[in-house]
A and B are shown apart, each in its own frame.
Chain A
Amino acid sequence: MIKILYFARLKESLAKTSEDFELPYAIFTIASLRTLLSSRGEAWNREFGEGGNLRAAINYDVAREDSVIKDGDEVAFFPPVTGG
């Protein structure tokens, strides 16, 4: 089981701030999670599909598309940041 968090615009467009998620395979990357989430419906496809522009993190560190997610990890998705 992993935890997935959604922030800012994303949490509003998906109407979800977090969820527990069972990894379907032992080897699972950010790219494969993104593909799986994009198939959940229109809003999900817009955010996680080809045209989306989201960043990802694993356990508070920036993650890349090929970063591997392990059981117990906290994964976050969010739009490009706008602080300062």
Chain B
Amino acid sequence: MPVRVQTEDFDAGAEISHLRQSRRDVGAIVSFIGQVRDINEGDDIAALTLEHYPGMTENALENIVSQAKQRWGVFEALVIHRVGTLQPTDQIVLVVVSGAHRSEAFAACEFIMDYLKTEAPFWKKEKTQAGERWVDAKSSDDAARNRWNQISNKGNR
């Protein structure tokens, strides 16, 4: 399954190793891990709870992965996203992309994260000393996604 939504932690090394060995024409692996910070908007964060919309989340992620594979011709792309309550330094999300060369793999990985952050139905709630609060969406995330409409497919660098 190229897309997993789970409460359990993941082993990035094992997942990378799996994609690395899945075929012999892989020349590049790019991975991204997002993790919980202990500070946001100037406040100490004690915990982060992630809610999602089961069914739609998987659809959205699978759609993003297939767009990325089609656009850059990368071989495989894996997305694991955790839900439930997490602590600072806990891993939240893993994206691993395998391809023939680095340029496509870098671009596809970044594309997947930019779309995940703006289209996959996850919501974060932070626990601070003052209580709990829902995290607001950032316009910078929308801008990061929208720039892919202006970028050619030959990598973005």
**Chain A positions near chain B (C-beta within 8 angstroms):** 5, 7-9, 57, 60-62, 76, 78-84
Contact = CB atoms under 8 A, between A and B. Distances in A.
Contacts of A83: 50, 52, 81, 92-93, 116-117, 120-124
Contacts of A57: 53, 56, 121
B53 A82 contact: no
A62 B34 contact: no
Contacts of A8: 51, 123, 125, 134
A15 to B, nearest CB: 15
Interface residues of B, number: 26
Given A7-B123, A9-B123, A62-B119, A82 B137 contact: yes
A82 B119 contact: no
A5 B53 CA distance: 9
Interface string B107-143: 0000001001111111111000000001111000000
Given A81-B119, A83-B50, A84-B122, A60 B137 contact: no
B59 A60 contact: yes
B42 interface: no
A12 B127 CA distance: 16
Given A8-B123, A9-B123, A76-B53, A81 B59 contact: no
B56 A79 contact: no
